[in-house]
Amino acid sequence: MNILITAGGTVEAIDSVRYLANHATGRLGKQIAEKMSPECDTVFYIHGPNAVLPELSNILFFPISSVRDLEYTMKRLLTHESITAVIHSMAVSDYELDYTISEVDLAKKLAKTIHHTPDLNEATLTNLIAKELTQYNTSQTTAEKKIRSTSEQLIVVLGKAPKIIHQIKHWQPDTLLIGFKLLVDVPESELVENARESIEKNQADFIVANDLTNINDNQHEAVLVSRKGIEKNFFTKEDIANGLMEVILERKKKHA
């Protein structure tokens, strides 16, 4: 049995020395890998730059940085290896860099466009600005170079990043897909509703839904949700690791 686990968080470069990141540590992924390892032939472990790592003899590490790195690595593994289950616990950025621009350059560009556009009303102006922000492109502001700190303000424009979880079943339709959903300070009913939406949208088998307000060093409350609703309640990272192992082994037994 081969398992693929993603852990930690992605980072998105703003330039060659700056990046956007999240607070993910990878501790949950590490605990899941350590729990699953004795049952696995190979654990394929994709991790972000700041993730803590398990020490296992049957683990293969795949370090990544950005969402695009993650997409490339997961596609390569899932189209070349037989994977019993994917545990996608990584905190993946929803956005990636589109471009950066100083407030002065942006103001000049918008002023020039507006000046050459007659008969502006509020709706036309709104659409015009939105179009300019979307279409703006310059070789001066890419993630390849270091942005100079000459401007008082730097505007960082982010674009939607690809949804990796949405592609997993396309790359390997028969794998068991367990995704994660993190919300902040919401009732359990909203957690479950969002989890079920994610299951439908991404063809996931289960979603581990958790609330940031119920996560700390000693506690990690979560619910395991299927299309039917809540399957299991968890209270610690160890609970989650044990529960996911049970689900995967049960699936393996059914398909033996």
Top mean pLDDT of 77-81, 112-116, 131-135, 251-255 is at 77-81
H helical segments located in the chain: 27-36, 67-78, 103-115, 122-135, 165-171, 188-202, 237-254
What is the pLDDT, as a whole number, of residue 136? 63
Distance CA 7, CA 20 (A): 17
Buried-state track 182-218, b at ≥16 Cβ within 10 A, e below 16: beeeeeeeebbebbbebbeebebbbbbbbbeeeeeee
Distance CA 197, CA 210 (A): 15
With 0.75 as the threshold, say if the pTM is over it: yes
Higher pLDDT: 190 or 109? It is 190
Q: How many CA atoms lie within 13 A of 99 on its CB side?
A: 15
What is the pLDDT, as a whole number, of residue 137? 56
| Whole-number average pLDDT of the chain | 90
- Of the candidates 84, 50, 76, the one whose C-alpha atom is nearest the C-alpha of residue 65 is 50
Distance CA 141, CA 203 (A): 37
Is-contact 120 114, C-beta < 8 A? Answer: yes
